[in-house]
């Protein structure tokens, strides 16, 4: 990409899309094109085609999606599969038809089977059953990967896919029901500190292991892949480091300044024991994450204070 190349970031108000815009600007790219969902409904094929006809972006980061945690996935399965299939189908097809030079599609680690071997390599895809609570979202994302591969195979369109691990950071969703594990824990400890609660209860035994990557690192990886990678297969993007849920809770408590006790509740479900991405393919290309978890959580907590506690933040879902 040239610094003046026209770059379209779909989903610029979301967690990943916002980070990609920040990183592009920090790296000196000056010709970014964005639209809010009110200005451009990516589920509408006519609107998407008209946008690409008018703007003709050279590079496309497809970070727009309908996203949410287990509760949202399980409660709105039709919306999750329909909206995501429409968004990615319209954007990938329009980018090809209007001669974009390259497109990067963002997926999710939930594309892998529920009982995939650990750590999960790229070739685990479609080797087993999905986690039932988010299979609707996962199937849509798998279709996006396969669509990129199909357009590469049939049309020679340079479409690539990146699969991130659990992301967190500036722009995260702190909705009490629809947020992911790290922002949910962070908010819980903040509230416990504010209310001077004596203890905070963590669901399950606290033993499951999870991997986290700061969204700014994810954005840097996306730009790296856009510039350095062109291939059929999708690429895992993770930190390569695991932490137990209990250790995560203890680390968040330290960053927030909560001094009370942390209690586990083994009567509640643990979920998958381990969920680690194998990111050696990306690491071997020369990319490495920059932010350690403690630093990333501290930054995220400050952003949460600035935007949710001391300010207002748009909690929109699919921007």
What the block records as the tokens of 315 is 């909690």
Q: Considering the domain boundaries, does residue 20 fall inside one?
A: yes
Nearest to 319, CA basis, from 16, 64, 61, 76? 64
Residue 178 has pLDDT above 70, yes or no: no
Q: Considering the domain boundaries, does residue 318 fall inside one?
A: no
CATH number, domain with residue 231 = 3.40.50.720
Q: Considering the domain boundaries, does residue 61 fall inside one?
A: yes
pLDDT of residue 315: 39
Phi and psi angles of residue 8, each rounded to the nearest 5 degrees, phi first: -100, 125
pLDDT of residue 276: 95
Q: Considering the domain boundaries, does residue 317 fall inside one?
A: no
Whether the CB-CB separation of 157 and 226 falls below 8 Å is answered with no
Binding site as annotated, residues for NADP(+): 11-17, 106-109, 141, 164-167, 180
Query: What would the pLDDT profile of 78-128 be if each residue is shown by its tens digit?
Result: 999 999 999 999 999 999 999 999 999 999 999 999 889 999 999 999 999
Query: What would the pLDDT profile of 183-192 be if each residue is shown by its tens digit?
Result: 989 999 999 9
Residues designated as active site: 137
Residues whose CB is less than 8 angstroms from the CB of residue 206 and which lie 6 or more positions away in sequence, other chains included: 244, 245, 246, 247, 249, 264
The model's confidence at residue 177, banded by pLDDT at 50, 70 and 90, is: low
Binding site as annotated, residues: 11-17, 106-109, 141, 164-167, 180, 188, 203, 210, 270
Residue 3 has pLDDT above 90, yes or no: yes
Cβ atoms < 10 Å from Cβ of 37: 18
Residue 176 has pLDDT above 60, yes or no: yes
Largest distance between two CA atoms of the chain: 61
Q: Considering the domain boundaries, does residue 99 fall inside one?
A: yes
Q: Number of folded domains in the chain?
A: 1
Q: Considering the domain boundaries, does residue 2 fall inside one?
A: no
Q: Considering the domain boundaries, does residue 246 fall inside one?
A: yes
The model's confidence at residue 318, banded by pLDDT at 50, 70 and 90, is: very low
pLDDT, average across residues 248-271: 94
The model's confidence at residue 221, banded by pLDDT at 50, 70 and 90, is: very high
Find the domain containing 133 and state its range: 7-309
Instruction: Report the alpha-carbon distance of residue 172 to residue 242 in Å, rounded.
Output: 20
What distances in angstroms separate CA 280 from CA 59, 132, 170, one per listed residue? 26, 28, 26
Binding site as annotated, residues for substrate: 188, 203, 210, 270
């Amino acid at each position: 990409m040239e610094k003046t190349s026209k770059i379209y970031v779909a989903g610029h108000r979301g967690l990943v899309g916002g980070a990609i815009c920040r990183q592009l600007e920090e790296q000196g790219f000056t010709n970014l094109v964005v639209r809010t969902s009110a200005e451009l409904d990516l589920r509408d094929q006519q609107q998407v085609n008209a946008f690409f006809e008018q703007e003709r972006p050279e590079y496309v980061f497809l970070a727009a999606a309908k996203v949410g945690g287990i509760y949202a996935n399980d409660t709105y399965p039709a919306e999750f599969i329909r909206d995501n299939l429409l968004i990615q189908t319209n954007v990938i097809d329009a980018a090809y038809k209007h001669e974009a030079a390259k497109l990067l599609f963002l997926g999710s680690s939930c594309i892998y089977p529920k009982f995939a071997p650990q750590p999960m390599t790229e070739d685990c895809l479609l080797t087993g059953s999905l986690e039932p609570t988010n299979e609707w979202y996962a199937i849509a994302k798998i279709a996006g990967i396969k669509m990129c591969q199909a357009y590469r195979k049939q049309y020679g369109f340079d479409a690539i896919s990146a699969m991130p691990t659990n992301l967190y950071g500036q722009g995260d969703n702190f909705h009490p029901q629809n947020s992911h594990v790290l922002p949910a824990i962070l908010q819980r400890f903040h509230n416990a500190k504010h209310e001077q609660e004596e203890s905070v209860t963590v669901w399950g035994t606290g033993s499951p292991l999870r991997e986290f990557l700061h969204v700014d690192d994810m954005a840097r990886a996306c730009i790296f892949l856009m510039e350095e990678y062109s291939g059929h297969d999708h690429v895992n993007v993770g930190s390569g480091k695991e932490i137990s849920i209990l250790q995560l809770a203890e680390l968040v408590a330290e960053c927030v300044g909560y001094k009370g006790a942390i209690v586990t509740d083994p009567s509640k479900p643990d979920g998958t024991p381990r969920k680690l991405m194998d990111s050696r393919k990306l690491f071997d290309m020369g990319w490495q994450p920059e932010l350690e978890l403690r630093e990333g959580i501290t930054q995220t907590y400050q952003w949460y204070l600035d935007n949710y506690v001391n300010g207002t933040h748009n909690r929109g879902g699919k921007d």
